Structure 1
Amino acid sequence: MKRWGITIPLPGMPLTAHRELIERLPDLGYTDAWTAETAGTDAFSPLLLASQWAPRLRLGTAIVPVYTRGPGLLAMHAATLAEVAPERFVLGIGTSSPVIVSNWNAAEFTEPYARTRDTLRFLRSALAGEKVSEQYPTFSVQKFKLERVPPKPPQVMLAALRPGMLKLAAKEADGAITNWLAPTDVPKVRGEIGPDVELVARIFVCPTEDRSAARALGRMLISSYLTVPVYAAFHEWLGRGEALAKMHELWAAGDRKGANAAIPDEVVDELIVHGSAAECRERLESYVDNGLTTPVISVLPTGGDPAEQVEALAPR
């Protein structure tokens, strides 16, 4: 494996307790540590710590919403990480969802494709040290210039699910970040970006041989994520529209329990990696075999020690 990533922080483990594990990640075979940003830690703070604990790791955000920070503040965050982890930081940006953007952060979720494109173009200029005065289609910036320009601008990748955003990522960014896909879905996504663009994907891994427990947890995650319109459209495009139709019908009717039960075992097994550590590693490798550049493990809570699970899931 050229790249093998882990999502930090781990569930149920205090952020300050991660140091020993993160220091060991490169020796275990991990190349990357990535963060997410929903309602837990922010995306940047764990990476700032990791940059000092494990100087060999590549660090990335997957992803930071383009709506919840102003363009200038987003550039400042990225420049700070690029300074402390030179040539090892990747800024992953994306639209996030209306719940996170509007319901939780009081921002307006409008024109997601255009806002992402405009933010990417602004960041390219700002992180190169240019003074930016520009009327973009979705926002305006006047006379912004970073006071601390990173020695080398960080890579910027885009969260992308369907052809439009995937093509934008391939044309103007340094790669595409996706999630909620099976190994057999990777070729279709890869087909939109071409063979040479880095493709990162967060993969949910439930390292337990209790298949009933893994599927129950998987169903809860699938119903809460894939009912979001952008993910529903993604899986319609991938060909799961019919398999997930009953879930969508019951969810829309307010029957959460019924929606969970309506998700076929086959869909859960496609989208959630579970089983023994060896089975999980084999499944993760199949993503790479199908064209994924960078698998990023997101360990789901099973009641086990998450640090031990990360060690067991290390590449062999």
Structure 2
Amino acid sequence: MTIPDLSVSLGYWQDRPPEEALLTAETADRLGYGELWIGEMATYDAFALATRVAGVTGEIALTLGPLPVSVRDPMTIARGAASVAGLTGRRVGVAIGTSSDVVVAGWHGRDRRRAGTALRESAVALRQLLDGNKTTFEGEVVRTRGYHLRLPAPESELTIAAFGPAAVRTAALHADRMVLNLITPRSAAVLVERMRDEARKADRAVPRVAAWVTAAVDPSEAALEQIRRAVVGYLAAPGYGEMFGEAGFEDLVRFARTRPHPRDLLAEIPEELVAAVGLVGDGDAVRSRLEEYAAAGVDEVALVPVSVPDDPCGGRTMAALRALT
């Protein structure tokens, strides 16, 4: 059975030095991966980091984001993408999403209450701007008037991060690609079919599907612990809790929803849960899981390689997965 195409996403692990992102990017490029996802979290500005990444890599394509639409407006996203493309000569894609209350309301002090509307309207306005059109768009949440790029239009591929029904429909109607995060193959299959149905109803070409998947081949205990910490915040979240429950972890989800101290919840997360949403194990186990994602309709897996002392920057994991292709 075939496996999805593979790309690499920077992990920004909180327990690792931020500058490791550049080493991960260099390694991904050296190993021949075709695309690098550059998100935006607590450290680097995505556009600044992408420009620097281009200086230390050879030819890997860059996808910026997902950028939160309640924080980044279409004009600044389009101008940023065109800036990176113009300064680096790279193919530059753009990904957008709704992000979280912690990021949008907490860090940025912005209103996230109509994030679904902002996502849909941003996708429409952004497509026009990325194609170099002079754009006037008056939505309920998103507005832009009279701007067009002075730089060459990057004509970027537009990716939309989705999980809930509204975001999946927006991806179906407006994206070139939908991306899913922290997803089991079973849940991915449901969302892929829902997106395909929406695209067919609109008589639109069906977008491709990518999934971000944390990866650790032949993981050490440190690698497993890093992934456990990454999933703690999702166990009680609406939608994600139900997904983990369907995967056989109902008791853990119930415990998470009692709001225990994070360290107590972390101690209860088994390796089986980590493997349910990751590429974790030996080469055969990882290939089998990739085949499951392919069967679910996932066209591409964006690897988020662990970075721990015994596998700094995820180099060993990236090399092992590259060998599968």
TM range (shorter): 0.7 to 0.9
SS in 1 for 2:158: strand
1:85 CA drift (Å): 6.0
| 1:218 partner letter | I
Contact 2:104 2:111 in 1 (8 A): yes
Partner of 1:178: 180
Query: Which of 78, 86, 96 is the matching residue for 1:75?
Result: 78
**Alpha-carbon distance in structure 2 between the residues aligned to 1:192 and 1:278:** 30
Partner of 1:201: 211
Q: CA deviation at 1:291?
A: 2.1
1:55 deviation in Å? 4.9
- Among candidates 280, 283, 296, match of residue 290 of structure 1: 296
Give the counterpart letter for 1:130 in structure 2: N
Cα 1:111/1:120, change in 2 over 3 Å: same
Q: TM-score, normalised by structure 1?
A: 0.83
* Unaligned stretches of 5+ residues in structure 1: none
**Residue 146 of structure 2 corresponds to residue 143 of structure 1:** yes
Identify if the C-alpha distance between structure 1 residues 10 and 260 changes in structure 2 by more than 3 Å, giving closer, same or farther: closer
Worse overlay, 268-277 or 102-111: 268-277
In the alignment, what sits opposite 1:255?
261
Give the alignment's TM-score, normalised by structure 2.
Answer: 0.81
Task: For 2:56 and 2:222, locate their aligned partners in 1 and report how far apart those are by CA, in whole Å.
Answer: 34
Other-structure match for 2:193: 191
The one of 236, 242, 246 equivalent to 2:242 is: 236
Change (3 A) 1:25 1:17: closer
CA–CA distance in structure 2, aligned partners of residues 203 and 108 of structure 1: 29
Identical counterparts, % of pairs: 22
Query: In the TM superposition, what is the alpha-carbon distance from 1:271 to its structure 2 partner?
Result: 1.4
Q: Take 2:283 and 2:128, find their aligned partners in 1: how far apart are those partners?
A: 44
- What do residues 160-206 of structure 1 show as CA deviations (whole Å, max 9, x unaligned)? 01332112212111110111112333322221222942111111113
* Deviation larger for 241-250 or 57-66: 241-250
Asked whether the 8 Å contact 2:18–2:43 carries over to 1, the reply is no
1:220 corresponds to 2:229 = yes
RMSD: 3.1
CA distance in 2 between counterparts of 1:191 and 1:238 reads 19
Select which of 46, 56, 66 maps to 2:69: 66
Count of matched residue pairs: 310
What secondary structure sits across from 1:171 in the alignment? helix
CA shift, 1:266, in A, is: 3.2
Give distance in 2, aligned partners of 1:22 and 1:258.
Answer: 34
Secondary structure of the structure 2 residue equivalent to 1:100 = helix
Instruction: State the alpha-carbon separation in 1 of the partners of residues 126 and 286 from structure 2.
Output: 37
Instruction: Structure 2 unaligned segments of length 5 or more: list them.
Output: 197-204
Q: Is the deviation greater in 32-41 or in 43-52?
A: 43-52
- Choose 30-39 or 180-189, whichever is displaced more: 180-189
CA contact (8 A) 1:220 1:260 kept: yes
Residues 89-145 of structure 1: per-residue CA shift (max 9 Å, x gap): 210000110101111112111211100011111112222223323321113323222
Cα shift readout 1:195-242 (whole Å, capped 9, x = no counterpart): 9421111111133444x5554433322222343x4xx32452676387
Paired residue type of 1:236: E
Secondary structure class of the residue paired with 1:113: helix
C-alpha separation in 2, matches of 1:42 and 1:278: 37
Q: Aligned partners of 1:42, 1:270: CA distance in 2, in Å?
A: 31
1:294 partner letter: E
CA contact (8 A) 2:29 2:60 kept: yes
Q: Which residue number corresponds to residue 200 of structure 2?
A: none
